[in-house]
């Protein structure tokens, strides 16, 4: 493996480490009434966003600072890196990146929505983790 590839691998692993941290926080769930589903869904969204950015880094794909998962999936698709169709559901998590992080007029986030967001994040991270292992 060349120097640039090693550097990219290390950077990608840092992105993935951050993604796993967000996923771990999302998995903790609503451990008290003070924790909002919106906030733990944000952690699920962040886990997916950072994991997809790890894939971009390892493949030398430049990305803009954006919290849009659709944008990241499209970038990967353009570079011929195809996510399995079931992972395209991750696009739904984009709303948790900005819209629900602050008080506002949006649909109430409930336990079912949280569990769905967590399931999606776990699937994406597993796929990314499995694919980065192939790069070792």
pLDDT tens digits for range 66-100: 889 999 999 999 999 999 999 999 999 998 887 76
Rounded CA-CA distance 133/60 in Å is: 17
pLDDT at 131: 84
120 has pLDDT over 50 = yes
pTM: 0.90
| More confident position, 66 or 12 | 12
> The tokens 């929505």 sit on which residue?
113
Give CA–CA dist 3/75, Å, rounded.
24
């Amino acid at each position: 493996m060349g120097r640039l590839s090693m550097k990219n691998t290390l950077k990608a692993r840092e992105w993935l480490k951050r993604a796993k941290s967000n996923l771990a926080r999302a998995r903790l769930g609503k451990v008290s009434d003070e924790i909002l589903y919106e906030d733990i869904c944000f952690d699920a969204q962040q886990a997916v966003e950072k994991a997809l950015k790890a894939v971009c880094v390892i493949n030398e794909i430049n990305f803009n600072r954006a919290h849009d998962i659709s944008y990241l999936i499209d970038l990967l698709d353009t570079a011929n890196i195809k996510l399995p169709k079931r992972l395209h559901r991750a696009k739904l998590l984009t709303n948790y990146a900005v819209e629900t992080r602050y008080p506002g007029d949006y649909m109430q986030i409930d336990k079912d929505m949280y569990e769905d967001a967590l399931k999606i994040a776990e699937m994406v991270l597993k796929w990314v983790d499995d694919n980065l292992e192939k790069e070792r």
